[in-house]
């Protein structure tokens, strides 16, 4: 059986999109499950859009997620490298093979001439395609004599090399997710394979590199499906073994409308990047905070991404990266788009936050016994989505109350009950929450005050008004002396301002 080799091949034209992370993740899971090799290849042939820091951003992102590459620019295998397309110099010889065998042709049409042709078609309310019809009216090696072509080349006339798309063919390509996919070649254009500056386009470099690197499976996003017929025909033209293709479902915006995009993220105030990134949209510069900097757990983000198109037979949702490798099944990948549900992401993160050990949450202190430290940790986790949410609850136990959100909630009824609490507090041991609750309840009954009526004021006194943990649990953890101090301070504030 052929060894499984997959690749993630991003273009370093900006920050790595979170959708790209999911594509890499599925490649990684499939490859590791089958004992294969997972490769990072940097497709940097688009020098006009090249961003110098983008490659390091990609590396740092996967380091945060804990996804490792078997081969990469940093960990090359001499047999398959280099791993940056800009360092690979073999493309022209493969372009020449296609030219010699009649699968490609040279085109001298200038940008102005092509724009003029597009305008003329637009006036006829048609879309211009450089294809089997229009190629016969353009300046290329099909319409020009070989002598004229050579003369133009010798004169230094700029040219591109285009693939000669065959006529009247129906291609049927097997996709591991979508089954048989059909294409009619008459609907396809003659794509450029080599640009005027001599560099290969994505299509050409991609196919040559996948072949030379012995890629067995190409797992990529649905947006690359229209490229499949050209890639299939290029393999056919070279008489190379075609890898197996799998085109993943789209990730949709949180509202389910359209592909997950930077523009929507800016408009709606969410992120599409693993790490903080500087981006430009509509000529406006933005800094978009990454999920790492937002405080999300990398394991939670990966877990969330994994299930945007994949499901387990038992509908389990919380699953580690190691478990994903064991459980991954390409047959359970969906064709339907998956909504980037921000509430669901928060839920995933809360589940991972709840797994954090007490020692990572509790501050070094001699204030509380171990059992109370565990209680504080559990109260911190109770409503936390992110680690930083711990601070709100943790501060209640390790800092003094210095202000109140709404001291007016400590009304005349509260003043009566608070005074009774202080006068009678020595009569209870503060052994548990229920004992404390019953003690306060009995005082309210004697005063004819409804228990629920004093709770907002009591929360002001004990927590400064912070909503969150159970109030009786909070008082039990604080203990009798600290509870007494806080109630006294609230009464003093009410009486003296």
Establish whether domains 91-248 and 407-496 are of one fold. Answer: no
**pLDDT number for residue 1:** 67
| Confidence label for 116 from pLDDT (cuts 50, 70 and 90) | very high
In the residue annotation, 262 being an active-site residue is answered as: yes
| pLDDT, the chain, mean | 96
> pLDDT, tens digit, for every residue of 431-449?
999 999 999 999 999 999 9
> pLDDT, tens digit, for every residue of 424-435?
999 999 999 999
> How do the domains of the chain map onto residue ranges?
91-248, 358-398, 407-496
Task: For residues 432 and 424, give the distance between their C-alpha atoms in angstroms, rounded to a whole number.
Answer: 17
The single residue of 32, 164, 191, 262 carrying the catalytic annotation is 262
Torsion sign over Cα 104, 215, 301, 277? negative
What is the percent of the chain with per-residue pLDDT over 90, rounded to a whole number? Answer: 95
> Per-residue pLDDT for 138 more than 70?
yes
Q: Which residue has the higher pLDDT, 466 or 457?
A: 457
Instruction: Please name the CATH architecture into which domain 407-496 falls.
Output: Orthogonal Bundle (1.10)
> Per-residue pLDDT for 136 more than 80?
yes
| Confidence label for 462 from pLDDT (cuts 50, 70 and 90) | very high
**pLDDT number for residue 3:** 94
> Per-residue pLDDT for 2 more than 90?
no
> Per-residue pLDDT for 159 more than 80?
yes
User: Among 23-27, 243-247, 278-282, 342-346, whose mean pLDDT is lowest?
Assistant: 278-282
**pLDDT number for residue 31:** 98
Task: For residues 191 and 161, give the distance between their C-alpha atoms in angstroms, rounded to a whole number.
Answer: 9
**pLDDT number for residue 298:** 98
**pLDDT number for residue 364:** 84
What is the percent of the chain with per-residue pLDDT over 70, rounded to a whole number? Answer: 100
**pLDDT number for residue 365:** 86
What number is the average pLDDT over the span 4-31? 97
Please tell me the CATH code under which domain 91-248 is placed.
Answer: 3.90.800.10
> Per-residue pLDDT for 104 more than 80?
yes
| Confidence label for 46 from pLDDT (cuts 50, 70 and 90) | confident
Task: For residues 297 and 319, give the distance between their C-alpha atoms in angstroms, rounded to a whole number.
Answer: 14
**pLDDT number for residue 47:** 80
| Confidence label for 334 from pLDDT (cuts 50, 70 and 90) | very high
Torsion of Cα atoms, 457 then 462 then 466 then 469, to 10°: -110
């Amino acid at each position: 059986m052929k060894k499984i080799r997959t690749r993630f091949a991003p273009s370093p034209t900006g920050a790595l999109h979170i959708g790209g992370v999911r594509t890499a993740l599925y490649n990684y899971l499939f490859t590791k499950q089958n004992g294969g090799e997972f490769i990072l290849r940097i497709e940097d042939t688009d020098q006009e859009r090249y961003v110098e820091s983008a490659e390091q951003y990609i590396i740092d992102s996967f380091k945060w997620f804990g996804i490792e590459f078997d081969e990469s620019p940093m960990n090359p295998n001499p047999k398959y490298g280099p791993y940056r397309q800009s360092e690979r110099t073999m493309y022209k010889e493969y372009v020449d093979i296609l030219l010699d065998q009649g699968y490609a042709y040279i085109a001298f049409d200038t940008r102005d001439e092509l724009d003029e042709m597009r305008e003329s078609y637009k006036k006829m309310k048609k879309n211009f395609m450089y294809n089997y019809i229009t190629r016969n009216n353009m300046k290329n090696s099909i319409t020009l004599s070989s002598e004229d072509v050579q003369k133009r080349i010798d004169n230094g006339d700029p040219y591109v090399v285009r693939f000669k798309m065959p006529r009247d063919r129906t291609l049927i390509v097997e996709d591991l997710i979508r089954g048989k996919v059909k294409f009619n070649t008459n609907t396809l254009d003659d794509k450029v394979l080599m640009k005027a500056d001599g560099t290969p386009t994505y299509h050409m470099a991609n196919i040559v590199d996948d072949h030379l690197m012995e890629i067995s499976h190409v797992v990529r996003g649905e947006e690359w499906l229209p490229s499949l017929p050209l890639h299939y025909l290029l393999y056919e033209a070279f008489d190379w073994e075609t890898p197996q293709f799998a085109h993943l479902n789209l990730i949709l915006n949180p509202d389910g409308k359209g592909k997950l995009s930077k523009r929507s993220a800016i408009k709606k105030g969410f992120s599409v990047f693993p790490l903080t990134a500087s981006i430009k949209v509509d000529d406006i510069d933005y800094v978009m905070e990454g999920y790492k900097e937002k405080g999300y757990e990398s394991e939670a983000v990966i877990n969330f991404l994994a299930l945007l198109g994949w499901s387990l037979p038992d509908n389990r949702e919380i699953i580690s990266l190691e478990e994903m490798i064991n459980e991954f099944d390409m047959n359970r990948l969906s064709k339907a788009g998956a909504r980037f549900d921000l509430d669901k992401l928060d839920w995933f993160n809360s589940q991972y936050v709840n797994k954090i050990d007490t020692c990572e949450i509790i501050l070094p202190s001699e204030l509380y016994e171990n059992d109370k430290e565990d209680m504080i940790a559990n109260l911190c986790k109770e409503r936390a989505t992110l680690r930083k949410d711990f601070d709100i609850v943790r501060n209640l136990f390790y800092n003094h109350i210095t202000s109140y959100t709404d001291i007016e909630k400590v009304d005349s009824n509260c003043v009566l009950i608070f005074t009774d609490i202080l006068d009678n507090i020595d009569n209870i041991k503060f052994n548990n929450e229920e004992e404390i609750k019953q003690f306060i309840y009995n005082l309210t009954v004697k005063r004819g005050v409804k228990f629920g009526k004093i709770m907002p004021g009591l929360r002001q006194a004990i927590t400064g008004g912070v909503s969150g943990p159970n109030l009786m649990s909070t008082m039990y953890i604080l203990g009798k002396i600290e509870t007494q101090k806080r109630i006294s301070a609230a009464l003093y504030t009410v009486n003296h301002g």
